[in-house]
Amino acid sequence: MKLYCFGESGNAYTAALTMELAGVKWDPIFVDFFKGEARSEAYKKINGMGEVPTLVTDNGVTLSQSGAIQQFIVDKTGKLGGDPKDKYETLRWVLWDNHKMSSQVGIQRFLMNFLPADKRPEGAINFLSGRIQVALSVLDSALADRDWLVGNSISMADISCCGYLFYDEPFGFNRSDWPNINTWLTRISNQPGWKHPYDLMKRAFISS
Amino acid sequence: MKLYCFGESGNAYTAALTMELAGVKWDPIFVDFFKGEARSEAYKKINGMGEVPTLVTDNGVTLSQSGAIQQFIVDKTGKLGGDPKDKYETLRWVLWDNHKMSSQVGIQRFLMNFLPADKRPEGAINFLSGRIQVALSVLDSALADRDWLVGNSISMADISCCGYLFYDEPFGFNRSDWPNINTWLTRISNQPGWKHPYDLMKRAFISS
C-alpha cells in the first residue's frame, strides 16, 4: 500500500502510525506540499480534492481522510479497533479529534511555523489559541482515570487524537502543562513499532 | 430516544434530521445553550464534556458527536448508510465535514450572529471566511456530476455536510453563489419528512 504523505502533516501521521502499529506494510510517497504539489494536475489524478494523506491500497482503491484510512486498516487487520461494544465511543473520539483537536491544532501549527512571520494572521492565531487550550483540557480530563481513551488498549481513537502532539514545533502545546496527556503520549510512544512522524515520513518544509 | 439539542446547532440538526429521515421516533430535550446550560453540573451528568447534541437511547446509552449518532441510527435502521461497498467513501465525507465544513462554518456562524458586535474577533472571522469559501468550493465541485455525495441515494454523508447550510443567518454562504450545492439542498429538502432545523428544535438565542 502507498501513502501519499509528508512529515509535517499530523493527519498523515495518524494514518501512517495506524499502519505501523497494526503491522501493515506500506510505502510513503512524498508529496512536496509546501511547493504546491498537492494542488498540481498530477496529484489531482490521485486525489481530486488535493488531500494529504491519501492511501492507495494494493487493490488500487483510493482513500482519504485519516479516520477513513484508519477504519480501513482496522477492518483489514482486526487490530486497533477496540472492543466492538465500544464502537460508537471509538468513533466519537475520532470525530471529536477531527472536529475539535487535530483540525484546529493542525491549522495553528501551520500558521505559527510554516508561514513567514509577516504573513501570520495574528487575530486567527489568538482565537485558535483559546480554542486549543479548551480541547487540550477536554483531552487531559478524559485521560485522568484511564490509560486509553476507549477500553483497555490503544485504539484508533488514541492514534487520531495524538496526531499532532509529538511534534516539537510550537503551537501552544507543552507536554508539561498536561500531566495526563503527557503520560498517555509516553504510553503511546512505548508501543512496539512506534516512530516519530519525522522518522516515518520525509519532511517538506525547508526554512528559508 | 432523547436528543439533547437546541435549534441553532447544525451538529444537533445533523443528528435530528438523520433520525427524522430514517423514520425513528425521538424527543428533543432543549438545552438552553446561550445561558450556559451545557456547562451546568446537571448537564455534565448527561455529557461530561458539555457536548450538544447528545443522544440518550431507549437502552440508556449515551452518545455524542453527530457522526457517531448518525452511525448508530444507520446501524439501527439500516437506512441512510449508503451501499456497503461505499463504506469508506461515506465515512470520508462525514469526516471531511467534521474536519473542514461544519466545524468551521459552525464557529463562523456563532461569531457572526450570536456574539455582541463589539465582541466579535474580526481577525478570526476574516481568516475563517477564506477557509469556508474553499470548503464550499470543494463541496460544490463534488456535486457537479452527481445528485448525492456518495452512491445513488441520500446518505449520512449528505446529512452531515448540509448541517449548517439551511440556516438563514449570515456566515458567508449564499446558495445562489453555489449552483450545485443549491440544487442538492433542494433535493435534500424535498425528501419526505424533511424539516428545517427551527421546526425540529427550539431556538436558544434571543437577540437583546
Written as one string, the DSSP assignment of chain A is: -EEEE-TT-HHHHHHHHHHHHHT---EEEE--GGGTGGGSHHHHTT-TT--SSEEE-TT--EEESHHHHHHHHHHHHS-SS--GGGHHHHHHHHHHIIIIIHHHHHHHHHHHHSS-GGG--HHHHHHHHHHHHHHHHHHHHHTTT-SSSSTTS--HHHHHHTTTTT--S-SS--GGG-HHHHHHHHHHHTSTT---HHHHS-------
Interface of B to A at Cβ within 8 Å reads: 48-49, 61, 63-68, 71-72, 87-89, 91-92, 94-96, 98-100, 102-103, 121-124, 126-128, 138, 141-142
Q: Is residue B135 part of a domain?
A: yes
Nearest-CA distance from A208 to chain B in Å? 25
Test A91 with B103 for CB contact under 8 angstroms: no
Q: Mean pLDDT across chain A, nearest whole number?
A: 97
Q: What is the pLDDT of residues B72-117, one digit of tens each?
A: 999 999 999 999 999 999 999 999 999 999 999 999 999 999 999 9
Query: A79 with A71: CB under 8 angstroms?
Result: no
Chain B residues touching residue A96 (CB < 8 angstroms): 65
Whether the pLDDT of residue A155 is over 70: the answer is yes
Whether the pLDDT of residue B15 is over 70: the answer is yes
pLDDT of residue A199: 98
Same-domain status, A127 and A53: no
> For B68, which of A48, A95, A142 is closest by C-beta distance?
A95
Q: Is residue B206 part of a domain?
A: no
Same-domain status, B63 and B140: no
Distances (CA, A) of A151 to A67, A81, A82, A90, B17: 18, 10, 7, 9, 30
Number of domains in chain A: 2
Test A99 with B96 for CB contact under 8 angstroms: no
Closest residue, chain A, to B94 (C-alpha) = A95
Domain that includes residue A44, residue range? 2-79+194-200
Closest residue, chain B, to A73 (C-alpha) = B88
Chain A residues touching residue B61 (CB < 8 angstroms): 88
- Residue B208 pLDDT grade (very low, low, confident, very high; cuts 50, 70, 90): low
| CATH number, domain containing residue B129 | 1.20.1050.10
Same-domain status, A27 and A44: yes
> How many CA atoms lie within 13 Å of A18's alpha carbon, on the beta-carbon side?
36
User: Does ipTM surpass 0.95 in this model?
Assistant: yes
Nearest-CA distance from B148 to chain A in Å? 17
Q: Is A23 left (phi over 0), alpha (psi -120 to 50) or beta?
A: left
Q: What is the pLDDT of residues B22-71, one digit of tens each?
A: 999 999 999 999 999 999 999 999 999 999 999 999 999 999 999 999 99
Same-domain status, B112 and B181: yes
Whether the pLDDT of residue A206 is over 90: the answer is no
Same-domain status, B107 and B172: yes
Same-domain status, B50 and B95: no
Q: Is residue A126 part of a domain?
A: yes
Nearest-CA distance from A98 to chain B in Å? 5
- Residue A172 pLDDT grade (very low, low, confident, very high; cuts 50, 70, 90): very high
Whether the pLDDT of residue A166 is over 90: the answer is yes
| CATH number, domain containing residue B29 | 3.40.30.10
> For A124, which of B88, B127, B141 is closest by C-beta distance?
B127
